[in-house]
Amino acid sequence: MSLDFAILGFLSEADQSGYDLKTRCFDTQARHFWTADQAQVYRTLDRLERDHLVTSRHVAQTAKPSRRVFKLTPSGRDALGEWLSSAHEPPPYRDPFLIQLYFAEHLTDDSLAEVLRESRSFHQQRLGDLRQQLSGLLKGKKRLSRRDEFAQMTLEAAMSTERANIDWLDDALETLRAEAEAQERGSAPQKRLFGLNGDTGGETR
Amino acid sequence: MSLDFAILGFLSEADQSGYDLKTRCFDTQARHFWTADQAQVYRTLDRLERDHLVTSRHVAQTAKPSRRVFKLTPSGRDALGEWLSSAHEPPPYRDPFLIQLYFAEHLTDDSLAEVLRESRSFHQQRLGDLRQQLSGLLKGKKRLSRRDEFAQMTLEAAMSTERANIDWLDDALETLRAEAEAQERGSAPQKRLFGLNGDTGGETR
DNA sequence: GACGAGTATAGGACAAAACATATATGTGGC
DNA sequence: GCCACATATATGTTTTGTCCTATACTCGTC
In tens, the pLDDT along A81-128 reads 999 999 999 999 999 999 999 999 999 999 999 999 999 999 999 999
In tens, the pLDDT along B130-155 reads 999 999 999 888 899 999 999 999 99
Q: Which of B44, B82, B150 to mutate: most A Cβ within 10 Å?
A: B150
How many angstroms separate the CA of residue A118 from the nearest CA in chain B? 6
Mean of the per-residue pLDDT values of chain A? 90
Last residue of a domain, one of A40, A64, A84: A84
**Domain shared by B127 and B168, yes or no:** yes
Q: What is the CATH number of the domain that holds B12?
A: 1.10.10.10
Rounded Cα gap, residues A175 and A192, in angstroms: 9
For residue B127, being part of any structural domain is answered with yes
Q: How many CB atoms lie within 10 A of CB B152?
A: 20
**Domain shared by A116 and A50, yes or no:** no
Rounded Cα gap, residues B175 and B192, in angstroms: 9
Q: Within 13 Å of residue A150, how many CA atoms lie on the same side as its CB?
A: 20
Radius of gyration of chain B (CA): 23
Q: What is the DSSP letter of A22?
A: I
Angle (nearest 5°) at CA B190 between B186 and B194: 155
Which pairing describes strands B54-59 and B16-17: parallel, antiparallel, or unpaired? Answer: unpaired
CB–CB contact B92 A35 (8 Å): yes
CB–CB contact A134 B204 (8 Å): no
- A68-82, A169-183, B177-191: least confidently modelled range: B177-191
The number of distinct structural domains making up chain A is 2
For residue A165, being part of any structural domain is answered with yes
Q: Which of residues 12 to 71 on A have a Cβ less than 7 angstroms from any strand D atom? A: 17-20, 22-23, 38-39, 42-43, 45-46, 61, 64-69
For residue B60, being part of any structural domain is answered with yes
**Domain shared by B115 and B79, yes or no:** no
**Domain shared by B11 and B68, yes or no:** yes
For residue A193, being part of any structural domain is answered with no
For residue B199, being part of any structural domain is answered with no
Local confidence band at A185 (pLDDT 50, 70, 90 cut-offs): confident
In tens, the pLDDT along B21-44 reads 999 999 999 999 999 999 999 999
Higher-confidence residue of B61 and B119: namely B119
**Domain shared by B123 and B162, yes or no:** yes
For residue A197, being part of any structural domain is answered with no
B190 at the A interface (CB within 8 A)? Answer: no
- Helix A109-138 × helix A146-184 angle, to 10°: 160
Local confidence band at A183 (pLDDT 50, 70, 90 cut-offs): confident
Domain containing B43 equals: 2-84
**Domain shared by B155 and B114, yes or no:** yes
Nucleotides of D under 7 A from a protein CB: 7-13, 15-20, 24-27
Residues 121-150 of B with CB under 8 A from A: 122-124, 126-127, 131, 134-135, 138, 143-144, 146-147, 149-150
**Domain shared by A12 and A62, yes or no:** yes
A178 at the B interface (CB within 8 A)? Answer: no
